[in-house]
Amino acid sequence: MPAALVTRFAPSPTGELHLGHAFAAMVAHEWARASGGIFRLRIDDLDHTRCRPQYEEGIYRDLAWLGLGWQGPVRRQSAHMNDYAAALETLKGQGLLYPCFCTRADIQAEVQAIAGAPQGPEGPLYPGACRGLSAQVAMARIADGARHAWRLDVARLPGGEALTRSIGDVVLGRKEMPASYHLAVVLDDAAQGITLVTRGQDLEAVTPLHMALQTVLCLRRPGYAHHRLITDERGQRLAKRDGARALSTLRAQGATPADVRRMLDWPAMQALITSRLEA
């Protein structure tokens, strides 16, 4: 019998859930259910400028409609900003962060000036303009009120050489937001006791970064299972910004949870999870 797994679904309340979200939630729920484990829910509401209460309420309605119940309290990122800020200070104390004063326009100009600028999963890699600033110069600029972000010096991490080529020095925090997705997700998963992170293949490339952060922050490392993405008729990943059909719309049109499972070819995924648990 496989060990009971603790999984999670962590949507952002920035729009209505669509079929891609349904699939991600169902995958996480099935891994937990089939192993006799626990399925947790987290609301990723770091970006308060885009999050809306009605979308969070919609998340609960959609999960209930799909029959996906969770165990334990819902964790909301906005309630843990102090935890993220403390972790950011820990990384600063380890000499793993440096302040970056570049605007998006600055970075774009530098990237355009580099022939064949390296690309990462989130676009062009940061060219490193502020990495070499002396501490004296950087602190003076901060004291003068210069806007800045805190970037991770990935070369200093375990496996840093490969991360430098694939991901680059990502932003982990800003004054107005003490944690980026990369920092918040590893802290949240540890806080919720997650033992298996299930997510789309589009996030597989950043998993080594998250593992490295878990190491330097002395966090327990979960397992990872990356599933296929749900795409539209053009083969493009479903996204809120592209107007992907919401679950609420499908429901209003008379669709049932069984219809959703058929649309997602759910029996095949369910069988795959079962086979992996039995392996």
Same domain, yes or no: 105 and 236: no
Structural domain for 97, as ranges: 81-174
| CATH code for the domain in which residue 55 is found | 3.40.50.620
What mean pLDDT do residues 258-273 have? 97
Alpha helices in the chain (DSSP H): 19-34, 53-66, 81-93, 104-112, 135-143, 160-166, 181-191, 207-216, 247-252, 257-263, 266-278
The pLDDT, as a whole number, for residue 234 is 77
Q: How many domains does one find in the chain?
A: 2
The string of pLDDT tens digits covering residues 225-237 is 999 999 887 777 8
> Domain boundary at 174, 203, 221, which?
174
- The string of pLDDT tens digits covering residues 140-163 is 999 999 999 999 999 999 999 999
23-37 exposure pattern, b = at least 16 Cβ within 10 A, e = fewer: bbbbbbbbbbbbbeb
Quick one: pLDDT at residue 231? 86
At 163, the amino acid letter reads L
Task: Provide the 3-class DSSP secondary structure of residue 237.
Answer: strand
The tokens 């990495």 sit on which residue? 131
Helix (H) or strand (E) holding 223: strand 223-227
Q: Rg of the chain over CA atoms, in angstroms?
A: 20
Residues 169 and 231 in one domain: no
Structural domain includes residue 62: yes
CATH number of domain containing 112:
3.90.800.10
Helix (H, G, I), strand (E, B) or coil at 191: helix
User: Tens of pLDDT along 180-217?
Assistant: 999 999 999 999 999 999 999 999 999 999 999 999 99
* Residue 1 located in a structural domain: no
| Per-residue pLDDT at 175 | 83
- Alpha-carbon distance 193 to 122, whole Å? 27
Mark which of 174, 206, 235 sits at the end of a domain. Answer: 174
Q: Classify residue 248: in a domain, yes or no.
A: yes
Structural contact between residues 95 and 127, judged by C-beta atoms closer than 8 angstroms: no
pTM for the structure as a whole = 0.92
| Tens-place pLDDT, residues 171-185 | 999 988 889 999 999
Rounded to whole angstroms, how far apart are CA atoms 182 and 38?
23
